[in-house]
Amino acid sequence: MSYRDNIFGNLFEPETRLSLYQATRLGVRHLNRRNPLLCQPEQPTELTVTTSGPEPFERVSCWFQTEAGHESTFDLTPGTVEWDNTLGDYIRTWHGILPPQPNNTMLRYRVGAQMGRTQTWVYADNQTTQAEQATQFACWVTEAKPPDWSRHAIVYHIFVDRFYPGDGKPWKTPDTLSGFYGGTLRGITQKLDYIQNLGFNVIWLSPIFPSPSHHGYDATDYFSIEPRLGTLEDFQELLREAHTRQMRVLLDFVANHCSNQHPAFLAAQTDSHSPMCDWFTWQDWPKEYATYFGVREMPEFNLRRAPARQYLLESARFWLEMGVDGFRLDYAYGPSHDFWAEFQRTCRQTRPDCWTFGEIIHTPETQRSYSGTMDGALDFLLCRALRETFGHRNWSPARFEAFLSQHEVFFPAWFSQPAFLDNHDMNRFLFIAQEDPAKLKLAALALFTLAGPPIVYYGTEVGVTQERPIHQNSFGIFEEARLPMKWGSEQNTDLRETFRQLIALRRAYPFLATAPRRLLHLDEQTLAYARQSADGLVIAAFNLAPTSRRMFLPGISLMHDALHNGRTWAEQQGLWLELPAQSGAFLV
């Protein structure tokens, strides 16, 4: 049985695609469309805006200012008009130029369109008519790009409560999956050798701040450690031990919302005159307030106001100064680009080689628009392609190749796109693959031979799976994909060895992170591509068929399979490769 990956639904389900499309076309839309995407020092930046819908817009303007200057304005120039058949309306495109700025300038701006001959302005992208409520855009003028080490990152994603309690400590046995299983920071420190021996050089921790939940995405304090997980000293020991092993440590950072038990929210909900009220957005104080997807236990921060914004920036600075190497940014689509631009500047000024990437489950255009406000975004699009091709088997090799060939050129080469097969919010890969390790091995081969820094969710490498799908009776029970880590004899050692081999090969051929990809072979059930640079050549080959298959690779000299699955022999025009059923080759 194939379970629908609902986490991707808003992008790909027919019933939601149209509304998503309309939301990015109707009215006045800027959508952070800039050229270049990364604002360069002393270089102009072109803005693109579109207008459509029942209101006549005869003028589009931009108001901008630096932190040290007064507000200035300019009008955008009307451009082409095109008919959009899906929208059923005309769309006009406008262009304007933000003037050059010196390095390290924070440039903030808003865009509005004047309705006909009235004095009413409609502001992009939230369509408000109030200037003070307009969507605030920003670009940090800088030449800074993701740190070099991030290109060669191989990340182990740890859900702290479910990883390891510590030597001599048994797992707890909560009544429900949402209970506490007892994983600790000290337990992670004690398992660093396991992680390092597999070849990982980065660990990403699920939220570790104080929180009433097992997952921690609802913090009550951003400057300390959840006592269930350990102490600040335990975390500092983990940092030291990881860095001693030349491993980096990333934290999961939630800027969109906190817990309703956070002292700031409790104070705001108790006293309407409390300065903490500015931290949140109230529809009807004290009972109605903006929340994360309607979850009342997770009130959203009001990041248009300085107090909550400064609190989060100070927290990021605090952890970076302690030695954290970067952040995975939870629900990055929630806070504005304006906030993230300032967050990125704060991080870079505190630790110039830190790495930041966002969780942005949205269209490629939206993901790309965060260029310059963070180093990149988790590659949910590739994740879906890997799951559909190798897990669900809904995609043919041809469709997978068609996706890759477009996806690889859509984003800037420097935009970081960490890649993964599964995570804590989706069904485990082995579960959607009907518990077939061969399918997981093929997907892992693709993961480790494509350009994005690979991420492995704890336990995927040893066969951790789940009993039931996440989506049951219209409810999302994400805990199904967060079962405790397997240790000792419970581990699938053959699967673990495959991951160890692939990680070792990834590290042995670092050009896999940057070299162009070239298609060598494609048919209904087999695929092969080359990754080649001046430093060498690697070929990844895949046989998805239930029987052994041969493929001919033109122009390739004799190579061998480092995974010991395939048999090769050379002819004058190229190389033959024979692969057993449902297996792959890493040719070197």
How many CA atoms within 13 Å lie on the side-chain side of 579?
Answer: 29
**Considering Cα of 33, then 35, then 38, then 44, what sign does the dihedral take?**
negative
> Where residue 166 falls among pLDDT bands split at 50, 70, 90?
very high
Residue extents of the structural domains in the chain: 6-140, 151-255+305-513, 257-300, 517-587
Specify the amino acid at residue 542. Answer: F
> Where residue 1 falls among pLDDT bands split at 50, 70, 90?
very low
**Which CATH number is associated with domain 257-300?**
3.90.400.10
pLDDT in tens, 26-61: 999 999 999 999 999 999 999 999 999 999 999 999
> Where residue 14 falls among pLDDT bands split at 50, 70, 90?
confident
Instruction: Return the number of other C-beta atoms located less than 10 Å from residue 534's C-beta.
Output: 6
pTM score over 0.95: yes
Whether residue 229 contacts residue 210, with contact meaning beta carbons closer than 8 Å, is answered with no
**Which CATH number is associated with domain 151-255+305-513?**
3.20.20.80
Burial of 299 (0-12, 13-18, 19+ CB in 10 A): buried
Q: Is the pLDDT of residue 188 over 80?
A: yes
- Residues for the chain: how many in total? 588
- Architecture of domain 6-140 in this structure: Sandwich (2.60)
Q: Is the pLDDT of residue 3 over 50?
A: no
**Could you give the residue numbers annotated as active site?**
330, 359
3-state secondary structure of 530: strand
Instruction: Return the number of other C-beta atoms located less than 10 Å from residue 282's C-beta.
Output: 17
Specify the amino acid at residue 168. Answer: G
pLDDT in tens, 544-568: 999 999 999 999 999 999 999 999 9
- Check for a shared fold between 151-255+305-513 and 517-587: no
Instruction: Return the number of other C-beta atoms located less than 10 Å from residue 266's C-beta.
Output: 15
Residues in Cβ contact with 33 at an 8 Å cutoff, skipping those fewer than 6 apart: 47, 48, 49, 369
Residues in Cβ contact with 313 at an 8 Å cutoff, skipping those fewer than 6 apart: 342, 343, 346
How far, in whole angstroms, is CA 264 from its chain's centroid?
A: 29
517-587, CATH topology level? Immunoglobulin-like (2.60.40)
Three-class SS of 174-222: CCCCCCCCCCCHHHHHHCHHHHHHHCCCEEEECCCCCCCCCCCCCCCCC
Integer angstrom CA distances of residue 141 from 43, 345, 387: 9, 10, 38
pLDDT in tens, 109-159: 999 999 998 999 999 999 999 999 999 999 999 999 999 999 999 999 999
Structure tokens at 276: 């903490």
Q: Is the pLDDT of residue 4 over 80?
A: no
Three-class SS of 28-76: EECCCCEECCCCCCCCCEEEEEEEECCCCEEEEEEEEEECCCCCEEEEC
What pLDDT, on a 0 to 100 scale, did the predictor assign at position 11? 76
pLDDT in tens, 429-457: 999 999 999 999 999 999 999 999 999 99
